[in-house]
A and B are shown apart, each in its own frame.
Chain A
Amino acid sequence: MSPRAAALAAADAPRDRDGAMPATGLPRVLATASSGPGLVAHLAAHGALPAFSATRRAEHPLVDLVEQSGLTGRGGAGFPTARKLAAVARARGDTVVVANATEAEPVSAKDKVLCRLAPHLVLDGVQLAAEAVGATRAVLVAHPTVSGVLGAAIAERARHGLGGVRPEIVDAATHFVAGEESAVVNWVDHGRSVPTGSRHRPHERGVGGRPTLVNNVETLAHLALVARHGAAWFRALGTETEPGTLLVTARGAVANPGVYEAAIGSRVDDVVGAAGGHVATPLAYLVGGYFGTWIGTEGREVAFSRQGLAPLGASVGAGLLLAVPTSCCGVVETARLARYLAGQSAGQCGPCVFGLRAIADEVGLLARRELASDGTARLRRWLGEVDGRGACAHPDGVARLVRSALAVFDDEVQRHVNRRCSAPRPEQSALGLPVT
């Protein structure tokens, strides 16, 4: 399936005289979706990059602007972007910027679609971030399917004499944990795409041992618009605590699976609507990613935002929304996810290697209705035991996912313990994973 891009709100909203985007228009980062990825279309849609003047790099005006905008990371953790910028800008010596377009999660497409449709906006973000932190090196770690388009865009900028540090492109490794920031740094430096568990975060000691700003490419694209249009413009969409728009990969039992740009605060149902609506009655949604959280259909009414999803114990993560239809079994789907994720352990930490395998086996027994009659007590204990015990958050993500399944599908879990299953087609999967 090729991801389709569209905007949640009307893409043909009127433009103002300069051809710049209207104050509240959508799409923002996907504004060039229909005009193509070239530099001319990019400049026509967004205008040129503003020039900033800074006396010292620790006082670069962009840091303040980003602070006022309230921009947060779109790579999964939602960390305030200005705080990272400031930490690296304050550091001594040479610094590095890494743009993370790894997007190794197999169902997620938003970063690839962004790089394909708006490579120059991403590169603007890289250029600005490098300027703000005084970086002498910029590295784009990109999923191999989009490194070509990004490379072409870099060459096009060079031909037009656009300034800034020329970014290097590194093809990303594509296994699940390869996009974790210490794994990305490790990959760039040593060609090893596993997390390091280092006590030093990249902003202290990253690529080549230098203070390194690691940001998701969507974060950088938003940053490039904040630099042009300002904080108030950025805040005209989104909510007070989560301003702006976000890219959502909408998949599963929806009519038009694809990538959509939504104002943060749009309801889950609005996002499903943008993706053409349900094609089957939904059983539940997987939000955030494979490493995300299950929410029941009562979640349709909540905002697809950190704040909206928090009461359901979920978060937007890297912007995945996957609708699972009632023909599927939530327990069986979770068993597939657990098996896949256990296999994606980077194989370094005992609790991750052995714990996730044991958890996947146990959920597998439950899915096959073969779990011993003492039910899920041991599984629940193991979920607690792996939490926080790896060098990266991989085990925590798996524990959260399985825990949410036990809560959202509790009736079905009980049925499975009693050797029954209510799904008409449990062999079907909406997850895009091999059916085991």
Chain B
Amino acid sequence: MSPATRAGAAASPGGRRRPVLRVDPIACDGRGICAELLPELVTLDDWGFPVVDGRPVPRELARLARRAVAACPTLALRLEHEHEHEHELS
């Protein structure tokens, strides 16, 4: 796992945290709309299920990423900020 993935979200130069894309594998039905809309960050595996780039979404792709999230028919694709999936025990 890259440090960026572990951190979940990274601070952009402006200080704001950029979100990461995540897939809920239980909800996802693998029709691959996300990979069509956002090939820069989502590829499909040999069985048609999405593999997302775990790094923070680059600013220039943020709008496209939001569109892919909105288009996911099962609400499986999400944009998450660090605190939303921060469940490690302290």
Q: Which residues of A contact B30 (CB under 8 A)?
A: 350
Contact assessment for A352 and B46 in the assembled complex, using a CB-CB cutoff below 8 Å: no
Contact assessment for B46 and A197 in the assembled complex, using a CB-CB cutoff below 8 Å: no
B interface: dominant SS: loop
| Among B12-20, B56-64, B81-89, the stretch in contact with A | B81-89
Q: Which residues of B contact A200 (CB under 8 A)?
A: 87
- Taking A351-B45, A355-B47 as contacts, is the C-beta distance between A197 and B24 under 8 angstroms? yes
Taking the complex as formed, is B90 at the interface, i.e. its CB lies under 8 A from any CB of chain A? yes
Contact assessment for A351 and B25 in the assembled complex, using a CB-CB cutoff below 8 Å: yes
Closest residue on chain A to residue B45 by CB atoms? A385
Contact assessment for A87 and B47 in the assembled complex, using a CB-CB cutoff below 8 Å: no
Contact assessment for B85 and A197 in the assembled complex, using a CB-CB cutoff below 8 Å: no
Taking the complex as formed, is B48 at the interface, i.e. its CB lies under 8 A from any CB of chain A? yes
Contact assessment for A350 and B87 in the assembled complex, using a CB-CB cutoff below 8 Å: no
Contact assessment for A355 and B45 in the assembled complex, using a CB-CB cutoff below 8 Å: yes
Taking the complex as formed, is B4 at the interface, i.e. its CB lies under 8 A from any CB of chain A? no
Q: Which residues of B contact A430 (CB under 8 A)?
A: none
Partner of B25, one of A79, A199, A204, A352: A352
Interface size class of B (residues with CB under 8 A): 10 to 19
Q: Which residues of A contact B49 (CB under 8 A)?
A: 350-351, 354, 389
Taking the complex as formed, is A203 at the interface, i.e. its CB lies under 8 A from any CB of chain B? yes
Q: Write the A381-404 contact mask toward B (1 if CB under 8 angstroms, else 0).
A: 010010011110000000000000
Q: Which residues of B contact A390 (CB under 8 A)?
A: 25
Contact assessment for B25 and A349 in the assembled complex, using a CB-CB cutoff below 8 Å: yes
Which of A83, A196, A199, A382 has the most C-beta atoms of chain B within 10 angstroms of its own C-beta?
A199
Partner of A382, one of B28, B46, B87, B90: B46
State in angstroms the CA–CA spacing of A199 and B83 once bound together. 11
Interface positions, chain B 11-45, Cβ under 8 Å from A, are 24-26, 28-30, 45
Contact assessment for B46 and A84 in the assembled complex, using a CB-CB cutoff below 8 Å: no
- Taking A358-B47, A385-B46 as contacts, is the C-beta distance between A199 and B84 under 8 angstroms? yes
- Taking A87-B89, A204-B87, A385-B51 as contacts, is the C-beta distance between A348 and B46 under 8 angstroms? no
**A75 vs chain B, min Cβ distance (A):** 15
State in angstroms the CA–CA spacing of A87 and B90 once bound together. 8
Closest residue on chain B to residue A203 by CB atoms? B89
Q: Which residues of A contact B84 (CB under 8 A)?
A: 199
Q: Which residues of A contact B25 (CB under 8 A)?
A: 197, 348-352, 389-391
**B21 vs chain A, min Cβ distance (A):** 13
Closest residue on chain B to residue A197 by CB atoms? B26
Taking the complex as formed, is A201 at the interface, i.e. its CB lies under 8 A from any CB of chain B? yes
Contact assessment for A358 and B46 in the assembled complex, using a CB-CB cutoff below 8 Å: yes
Q: Which residues of B contact A352 (CB under 8 A)?
A: 25
State in angstroms the CA–CA spacing of A385 and B51 once bound together. 8
Contact assessment for B47 and A391 in the assembled complex, using a CB-CB cutoff below 8 Å: no
Q: Write the A60-95 contact mask toward B (1 if CB under 8 angstroms, else 0).
A: 000000000000000000010001100100000000
State in angstroms the CA–CA spacing of A79 and B89 once bound together. 10
Closest residue on chain B to residue A202 by CB atoms? B87
State in angstroms the CA–CA spacing of A351 and B25 once bound together. 8
**A219 vs chain B, min Cβ distance (A):** 15
Partner of A199, one of B29, B87, B89, B90: B87
Contact assessment for A349 and B26 in the assembled complex, using a CB-CB cutoff below 8 Å: yes
State in angstroms the CA–CA spacing of A201 and B84 once bound together. 12
Closest residue on chain B to residue A390 by CB atoms? B25
State in angstroms the CA–CA spacing of A348 and B45 once bound together. 17
**A182 vs chain B, min Cβ distance (A):** 11
State in angstroms the CA–CA spacing of A118 and B51 once bound together. 47
**B34 vs chain A, min Cβ distance (A):** 13
Closest residue on chain B to residue A204 by CB atoms? B87
Q: Which residues of B contact A354 (CB under 8 A)?
A: 47, 49
State in angstroms the CA–CA spacing of A201 and B89 once bound together. 9
State in angstroms the CA–CA spacing of A204 and B89 once bound together. 10
Contact assessment for B24 and A351 in the assembled complex, using a CB-CB cutoff below 8 Å: no
**B72 vs chain A, min Cβ distance (A):** 14
State in angstroms the CA–CA spacing of A167 and B1 once bound together. 40
- Please report B residues at the A interface, Cβ cutoff 8 Å: 1, 24-26, 28-30, 45-49, 51, 84-85, 87, 89-90
Which 7 A-B residue pairs are closest in the complex by CB-CB distance?
A349-B25, A354-B47, A350-B49, A348-B26, A350-B30, A201-B87, A391-B26
- Please report A residues at the B interface, Cβ cutoff 8 Å: 79, 83-84, 87, 196-197, 199-201, 203-204, 348-352, 354-355, 358, 382, 385, 388-391
22 contacts between A and B (CB under 8 A): A79-B89, A83-B89, A83-B90, A87-B89, A196-B26, A197-B24, A197-B25, A201-B87, A203-B89, A349-B25, A350-B28, A350-B47, A350-B48, A350-B49, A351-B25, A351-B45, A352-B25, A355-B45, A385-B51, A389-B49, A390-B25, A391-B25
